[in-house]
Structure 1
Amino acid sequence: MSTAVLVELSAGENPLICFPPAGAGASYFRFLAQDRAVSAVQYPGRESRFREPFATSRPELLKEITAHLALLPNLGQATFLGHSLGATLAFESALGLQRLDLSPARVVLSARNNTPPGTSPKAPDGDATTDEELKEWLLGLGGTRPEVLAHPELAELILKVARADLRLGAQGGATGLIDAPILTLCGDHDPAATTADMAGWAERTTAAFHQVTLNGDHDALRHNPQLFIELLEEKS
Structure 2
Amino acid sequence: MEAWFDTARAVPSGRPRTYCFAHAGGRAQAFVEWQEALAEVTALVAVTPPERTGIDTVCDQAAELIAAQRTEPFLLFGHSLGALIAFEVGRRLDDRPAHLIASGCVAPSLHPTPRMVEVAGLDGQGLTDALAVYGGLRPEILADPELQEFILPDVRADFRMVAEYLYRPAAALPFGVSLVNGMDDPLVRSEDLADWSRECIGEPETYWSEGGHFYFEQHPEAVTEVIRRAAEALPVELI
TM-score normalised by the chain length of structure 2: 0.84
Quote the residue 2:79 is aligned against.
83
1:169-184 equivalence runs, <5 A: 169-171=162-164, 172-176=166-170, 177-184=172-179
Report deviation, 1:128: 3.0
Matched, 1:62 2:59: yes
Question: Does the aligned pair in 2 maintain the 1:126–1:162 contact within 8 Å?
Answer: no
Q: Which range moved further: 204-213 or 127-136?
A: 127-136
* Percent identity between the two aligned chains: 25
Quote the residue 2:47 is aligned against.
41
Report deviation, 1:58: 1.4
Please give the root-mean-square deviation of Cα atoms over the aligned residues, in Å.
2.0
> Is the partner of 2:198 in helix, strand or coil?
helix
Gaps of 5+ in 2: 234-239
Matched, 1:7 2:6: yes
- Letter aligned with residue 11 of structure 1: V
Q: For 1:97 and 1:231, how far apart are their aligned partners in 2?
A: 22
Alignment deviations for residues 98-118 of structure 1 (CA, whole Å, 9 cap, x no partner): 1xxx4211000000111427x
Q: Which range moved further: 31-40 or 81-90?
A: 31-40
Structure richer in helix, relative to its length: 2
Report deviation, 1:72: 2.6
Alignment deviations for residues 63-110 of structure 1 (CA, whole Å, 9 cap, x no partner): 11111010133541x111010000100000000111xxx421100000
Quote the residue 1:223 is aligned against.
218
> Is the partner of 1:123 in helix, strand or coil?
helix
> Is the partner of 1:120 in helix, strand or coil?
coil
> Is the partner of 1:116 in helix, strand or coil?
helix
Quote the residue 1:133 is aligned against.
126
> Is the partner of 1:105 in helix, strand or coil?
strand
Quote the residue 1:17 is aligned against.
19
- Letter aligned with residue 112 of structure 2: S
- Letter aligned with residue 4 of structure 2: V
> Is the partner of 2:69 in helix, strand or coil?
coil
> Is the partner of 2:33 in helix, strand or coil?
helix
Quote the residue 2:237 is aligned against.
none
Q: For 1:62 and 1:140, how far apart are their aligned partners in 2?
A: 28
Quote the residue 2:112 is aligned against.
120
1:80-229 equivalence runs, <5 A: 80-98=76-94, 102-116=95-109, 119-121=111-113, 122-125=115-118, 128-171=121-164, 172-176=166-170, 177-229=172-224
Question: Does the aligned pair in 1 maintain the 2:103–2:181 contact within 8 Å?
Answer: yes
Question: Does the aligned pair in 1 maintain the 2:117–2:160 contact within 8 Å?
Answer: no
Quote the residue 1:51 is aligned against.
none
Question: Does the aligned pair in 1 maintain the 2:178–2:204 contact within 8 Å?
Answer: yes
Q: Cα 1:227–1:153, aligned 2, differ >3 Å: closer, same or farther?
A: same
Q: For 1:69 and 1:115, how far apart are their aligned partners in 2?
A: 21
- Letter aligned with residue 204 of structure 2: F
> Is the partner of 1:192 in helix, strand or coil?
coil
Q: Which range moved further: 156-165 or 219-228?
A: 219-228
Higher relative contact order (CA 8 A, sep 6+): 2
Question: Does the aligned pair in 2 maintain the 1:183–1:210 contact within 8 Å?
Answer: yes
Gaps of 5+ in 1: 46-53
Quote the residue 1:49 is aligned against.
none
Question: Does the aligned pair in 2 maintain the 1:182–1:202 contact within 8 Å?
Answer: no
